[in-house]
Chains A and B, each alone.
Chain A
Amino acid sequence: MAYSEKVIEHAENPRNVGTLDKDDPSVGTGLVGAPACGDVMRLQIKVSDEGVIEDAKFKTFGCGSAIASSSLATEWIKGKKVEEAEAIRNVDIVNELNLPPVKIHCSVLAEDAIKSAIADYRAKQAAKRCAAE
């Protein structure tokens, strides 16, 4: 399969590979996919008190397109407000990376990873407020 230049570029030089402290209340972790399906993405965000994603990290088990999709996702959400990050759609990733139809699921997974990380962050914030009350 021929990859687009952007996929190759991201896969060879992935941005924001790494791990944030999942126990930090300002960190949200999303883990999506399944090993048996050939792709698992973990995407983490660190959110400031003002609701801005100040850091994002990922680790991905998957093909070049899956790695590129998650790398691009972290690049896009860094510096965005949580609500803005939530608005990112998989088609945006498909268009940016020129993903072929057979690789669209990689972009879906990346969108899910963002949403899942945000949901985890919000759950933690809600739990924190509950504890404070």
Chain B
Amino acid sequence: MAITLPIFMDYHSTTPVDPRVLEAMMPYFTQKFGNAASRSHAFGWSAEEAVDYAREKIAKLIGAQSEKEIVFTSGATESNNAAIKGVAEFYRDKGNHIITTVIEHKAVLDTCKKLEKEGFSVTYLPVSSDGRVDPAAVEAAITDKTILVSVMLANNEIGTIQPMAEIGAITRAKGVLLHTDAVQGVGKTPFDVQAMNVDLASITAHKMYGPKGVGALYVRRSKPRVRIVSQMDGGGHERGMRSGTLNVPGIVGFGKAAEIMLEEGPAEQIRVRALRERLRTKLQSALEETSINGSLEYRLAGNLNISFAFVEGEAMMMAIKDVAVSSGSACTSASLEPSYVLRALGVGDELAHSSIRFGLGRFNTEEEVDYVANLVIEKVKHLRNMSPLYEMHKEGIDLKSVAWVAH
């Protein structure tokens, strides 16, 4: 099969809409365009019926007991805000302490920071060098003021999967609510809100081959019944938890994406993991001084976060510009700080600057992996040949012993 450039290997950032998803959505733009809240005519009924079907599939995908536990939102950022702020506001009289981790997405971290300004106290748990949260640390951090623990299912940069069931057993026993930002993990690693005792979960369509602009928040309805204060007030949609006319075509697409994941997800992950391992072994057998960031064992099948020592990540991305990847080098961001996730693992700043994140997914092929592996190997060698650090390393100079003059 011929290779078409550019090649997309950035599936953690977003995914293309599966053609089957798009097909399912199409009628809901033009013919079945009704408002799902219109109870008085057939246009509204058919929209509502489609939304209910999607709700059912999404509930099933995450092991929810009832489709009524699914609240549609505009995406995971909104879901994270709705969950954390919503719980904080509702349970304020019970306590003001929230526990989360240092490697959460900014949608969680910045929400927690805002709550700190409003009088809440937040514990940011560290992670081990392989990116995992220690459930015992969660337990130790819980106080009688703790109302919520928020730990992501899988990390967006390093793909590390957290011990959600162990954490859920602790929070349930302690009577503390558990929220998870499950965006990266749903459909890609086993996730079951019942088995894991998860009380709130944020998910989004566009990370699982659905459209952008539609997400959901799972809110447990029994044992315990979770209450949140809505962050969006108006017509009382979504049982008062999120007002606003439902994005019916988006929700239909989300439902179809969930349906496909239910049927094909497990087999797909086996195929994607094989591609990831093919890429990893090719790179690591051809190149010296590479390191994998995050646990290889507890890792999303499609994630490869790898540092090529002595080569700067952004220069690397420029050298492989026909391949869409991402880097923990912060040369692209205004702060010039490297990834806070890699820092949290204790990866040195120089290796954080040298990291590349490959995100493999549904539409990648073996041919693409081989093409990318060969290209990356060639470019790493090329950039190392023009790297003073590589030359010094080859001369036997310990780079840590050099008195660098930082800017």
> A residues near B, CB below 8 A?
1, 3, 8, 11, 14, 17, 19, 31-42, 59-67, 102, 105, 108-109
What are 21 A-B pairs with beta-carbon distances under 8 A?
A: A8-B318, A11-B315, A11-B318, A14-B386, A33-B404, A34-B405, A34-B406, A35-B353, A36-B350, A36-B404, A37-B336, A37-B349, A38-B312, A41-B388, A62-B312, A62-B331, A63-B312, A64-B314, A65-B331, A105-B336, A105-B407
Q: Please report which residues of chain B, range 373-403, place their CB below 8 angstroms from some CB of chain A when the two chains form the complex.
A: 385-391, 399
A19 touches B391 (CB 8 A): yes
In the complex, whether B330 has a CB less than 8 A from a CB of chain A is yes
Chain B residues positioned under 8 Å from A3 (CB to CB): 318
Measured CB to CB, the residues of B under 8 A from A are 310-312, 314-315, 318-319, 329-332, 334, 336, 338, 348-350, 353, 385-391, 399, 404-407
- Supplied contacts A17-B386, A63-B312, 17 more A-B pairs, CB within 8 Å: A8-B318, A32-B405, A33-B406, A36-B404, A37-B406, A38-B312, A38-B329, A38-B350, A40-B404, A59-B391, A61-B310, A62-B331, A64-B315, A65-B331, A66-B312, A66-B315, A108-B407
Query: Is B353 within 8 A of A40, CB to CB?
Result: no
Q: What A residues does B314 contact at CB under 8 A?
A: 63-64
Q: Is A102 a contact of B334 with CB atoms below 8 Å?
A: yes
Contacts of A42 in B (CB 8 A): 388
Shortest Cβ distance from residue B288 to the other chain A in the assembled complex, whole angstroms? 16
| Shortest distance from the beta carbon of B353 to any chain A beta carbon, whole Å | 4
Cα distance A102–B336 in the bound complex, in angstroms:
8
Residues of A within 8 A of B389 (CB): 35, 40, 61
A15 CA to B69 CA in the complex, in Å?
Answer: 61
User: B388: which A residues are within 8 A, CB to CB?
Assistant: 31, 40-42, 59-61
- Say yes or no: A35-B349 contact (C-beta < 8 A), given A19-B391, A67-B386: yes
Closest to B327 in A: A63
How far does the alpha carbon of A31 sit from the alpha carbon of B345 in the complex, in Å? 29
CB of A63 within 8 A of CB of B387, answer: no
CB distance from A67 to the nearest CB of B (A): 6
Q: Which residue of B lies closest to A35 (CB)?
A: B350
B329 — nearest CB in chain A belongs to which residue?
A38
Q: Are B386 and A64 in contact (CB under 8 A)?
A: no
A113 to chain B, nearest CB (A): 10
Which residues of chain B are near A11, meaning CB under 8 Å?
A: 315, 318-319
Please name all residues of chain A whose beta carbon is closer than 8 Å to the beta carbon of B332 when the two chains form the complex: 1
Residues of A within 8 A of B386 (CB): 14, 17, 59-60, 67
